[in-house]
């Protein structure tokens, strides 16, 4: 029996996992090219080239590159015409920006529960959350796994709703061989530092709809009109344009995405197969309709029953001590102070009454995932070798075999 690292024993691993971001001299050359061109923003070619290439990569007709994923969500929501009085259905198992973007345009996030075996929006719960004020559904392809887009499209068509996909973690992800982002009306991506392709910060909105594209373009560019006069502003837009430097880096990053995604998938499949044989750690469901998983996160369901009742947070601490980076993940969004404080927001209360009081929300699957089950590994770990994956499995097994040495 080997002593657990959290008790002072030798960790399974002391080596780091592959470093992120991956880059080489090509990023350096691209930045220098922009630098010496003297055109760092408007008037350059890189942003446009990236918009075209990334949109095409996502099977979308149009792209508008912006400063970050949060701005992408807000741009998409504004183009969709979401504003005061409108409800938008979304999961509470997501990053806070999914909800704040809706709040920033004056809409109300309405949380629906997730499926227990995929952690993406549960279509039945979406249908149950629809009211006369619902204008859009906002599925999140969390961790890079597409939500059930067949059902999202069916529900949206039946109820005359828009679909805005939060694909901020899902570059290249496919639902039944179609890339996410423009399966719905609009889709948003992030290129923030941790993301599978990155320029430090960055984002893009994609769509197949010309009118929505022009509205996004206008909103992100001070309300200007495409091909219009410089000082003509038809909508109260903002400035959230991506710079030429960001676009130049992303054009290089994009060339590695396919190969990286393949490696992540191979390692994730291996980990899933091995973990599914260990009682107490269950990978999320493999679904043949997910024809490409972006694996921003590798998420599994921890079951304390397989570890003598060891609570999730203590399992996470023990795993980290063994040299395996991991996270217990999100807390239910509606439990965050910024959401609970909305009950005191006078304009929201006037518009939405007690629906703006999130202390009333209870989503059992989300809460179980957050508090008891979900554990994440990060995308850079999946760029490692088979030996790296075996270290992860060895560390899980070591905790399982020695859990009786822990007091909790």
Ligand X SMILES: Cc1ncc(COP(=O)(O)O)c(C=O)c1O
Answer for which of 105, 108, 168, 370 binds ligand X (CB under 6 A) is 168
Count of CB atoms situated within 10 Å of the CB of 121: 30
To ligand X, the closest distance from the beta carbon of 196 in angstroms equals: 11
DSSP states of 220-241: HBTTB-TTS-TT-B-S---B-B
C-alpha to C-alpha distance for 188 and 58, rounded to whole angstroms: 11
To ligand X, the closest distance from the beta carbon of 192 in angstroms equals: 4
Cis bond leading into 116, ω under 30°? no
To ligand X, the closest distance from the beta carbon of 140 in angstroms equals: 5
Cβ–Cβ under 8 Å, residues 268 and 382: yes
- The dihedrals phi and psi of 136, each to the nearest 5 degrees, come to -150, 155
To ligand X, the closest distance from the beta carbon of 242 in angstroms equals: 11
33, 61, 79, 186, 206 from 210: Cα distances, Å: 32, 8, 11, 11, 11
* Alpha helix stretches (DSSP H) within 130-275: 149-159, 210-220, 244-275
The stretch among 10-18, 113-121, 163-171, 380-388 that binds ligand X (CB under 6 A) is 163-171
CB-nearer residue toward ligand X: 68 or 148:
68
Answer for which of 55, 80, 92, 140 binds ligand X (CB under 6 A) is 140
> Is position 139 an interface residue for ligand X (rule: CB under 6 A)?
no
**Within a 13 Å sphere around the CA of 170, how many CA atoms are in the beta-carbon half?**
32
> Is position 370 an interface residue for ligand X (rule: CB under 6 A)?
no
> Is position 120 an interface residue for ligand X (rule: CB under 6 A)?
no
CB-nearer residue toward ligand X: 75 or 207:
75
- Per-residue contact track with ligand X, 97 to 116, x per CB under 6 A? xx------------------
The stretch among 104-112, 166-174, 277-285, 380-388 that binds ligand X (CB under 6 A) is 166-174
CB-nearer residue toward ligand X: 5 or 108:
108
CB-nearer residue toward ligand X: 169 or 243:
169
Answer for which of 107, 139, 181, 203 binds ligand X (CB under 6 A) is 203
> Residues touching ligand X: how many (CB under 6 A)?
14
Answer for which of 100, 104, 178, 192 binds ligand X (CB under 6 A) is 192
> Is position 169 an interface residue for ligand X (rule: CB under 6 A)?
yes
C-alpha to C-alpha distance for 166 and 159, rounded to whole angstroms: 20
> Is position 327 an interface residue for ligand X (rule: CB under 6 A)?
no
> Is position 69 an interface residue for ligand X (rule: CB under 6 A)?
yes
> Is position 315 an interface residue for ligand X (rule: CB under 6 A)?
no
CB-nearer residue toward ligand X: 169 or 253:
169
Closest CA to 391 of 8, 2, 64, 14: 14
CB-nearer residue toward ligand X: 72 or 318:
72
> Is position 165 an interface residue for ligand X (rule: CB under 6 A)?
no
- Per-residue contact track with ligand X, 171 to 190, x per CB under 6 A? -------------------x
Q: For residues 387-406, which are near ligand X according to CB under 6 A?
A: none
C-alpha to C-alpha distance for 332 and 338, rounded to whole angstroms: 12
CB-nearer residue toward ligand X: 380 or 395:
380
β partners of residue 174: 179, 292
> Is position 95 an interface residue for ligand X (rule: CB under 6 A)?
yes
> Is position 383 an interface residue for ligand X (rule: CB under 6 A)?
no
CB-nearer residue toward ligand X: 326 or 403:
326
DSSP states of 353-403: GGGG-GGG---HHHHHIIIIIEEEEEGGGGGS-HHHHHHHHHHHHHHHHHG
C-alpha to C-alpha distance for 224 and 376, rounded to whole angstroms: 42
CB-neighbour burial class of residue 23 (10 A; exposed 0-12, middle 13-18, buried 19+):
middle
Cβ–Cβ under 8 Å, residues 164 and 77: yes
* Closest residue to ligand X, based on beta-carbon distance: 69
* Contacts to ligand X by CB under 6 A: 68-70, 94-95, 97-98, 140, 166, 168-169, 190, 192, 203
């Amino acid at each position: 029996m080997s002593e657990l690292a959290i008790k002072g024993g030798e960790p399974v691993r002391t080596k780091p996992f592959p470093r992120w971001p991956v880059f080489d001299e090509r990023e350096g050359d691209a930045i220098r090219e922009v630098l010496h061109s003297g055109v760092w923003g408007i008037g350059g070619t890189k942003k446009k080239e990236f918009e075209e290439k990334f949109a095409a990569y996502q099977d979308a007709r149009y792209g508008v590159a912006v400063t970050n994923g949060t701005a992408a969500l807000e741009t998409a929501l504004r183009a969709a015409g979401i504003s005061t009085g409108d409800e938008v259905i979304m999961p509470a198992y997501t990053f806070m920006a999914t909800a704040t973007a809706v709040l920033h345009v004056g809409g109300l996030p309405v949380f629906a529960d997730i499926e227990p075996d995929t952690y993406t929006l549960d279509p039945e719960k979406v249908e149950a959350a629809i009211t006369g004020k619902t204008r859009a559904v906002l599925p999140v392809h969390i961790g890079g796994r597409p939500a059930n887009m067949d059902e999202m499209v069916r529900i949206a068509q039946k109820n005359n709703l828009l679909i805005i996909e939060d694909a901020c973690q899902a570059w290249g992800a496919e639902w039944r061989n179609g890339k996410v982002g423009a399966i719905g009306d609009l889709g948003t991506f992030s290129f923030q530092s941790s993301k599978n392709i990155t320029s430090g910060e960055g984002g893009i909105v994609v769509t197949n709809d010309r009118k929505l594209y022009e509205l996004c373009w206008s909103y992100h560019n001070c309300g200007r009109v495409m091909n219009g006069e410089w000082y003509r502003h038809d909508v109260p837009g903002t400035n959230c344009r991506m710079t030429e430097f960001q676009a130049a880096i992303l054009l290089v990053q994009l060339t590695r995405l396919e190969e990286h995604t393949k490696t992540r998938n191979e390692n994730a499949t291996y980990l899933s197969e091995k973990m599914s044989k260990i009682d107490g750690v269950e990978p999320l469901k493999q679904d043949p309709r997910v024809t490409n998983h972006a694996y921003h996160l590798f998420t599994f369901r921890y079951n304390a029953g397989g570890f003598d009742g060891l609570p999730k947070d203590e399992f996470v601490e023990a795993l980290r001590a063994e040299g395996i980076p991991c996270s217990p993940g999100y807390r239910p969004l509606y439990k965050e102070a910024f959401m609970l404080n909305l009950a005191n927001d006078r304009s929201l209360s006037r518009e939405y009454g007690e629906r703006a009081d999130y202390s009333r929300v209870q989503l059992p699957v989300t809460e179980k995932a957050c508090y008891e089950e979900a554990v994440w590994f990060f995308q850079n770990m999946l760029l490692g070798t088979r030996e790296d994956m075996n270290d992860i499995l060895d560390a899980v097994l070591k905790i399982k075999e020695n859990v009786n040495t822990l007091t909790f």
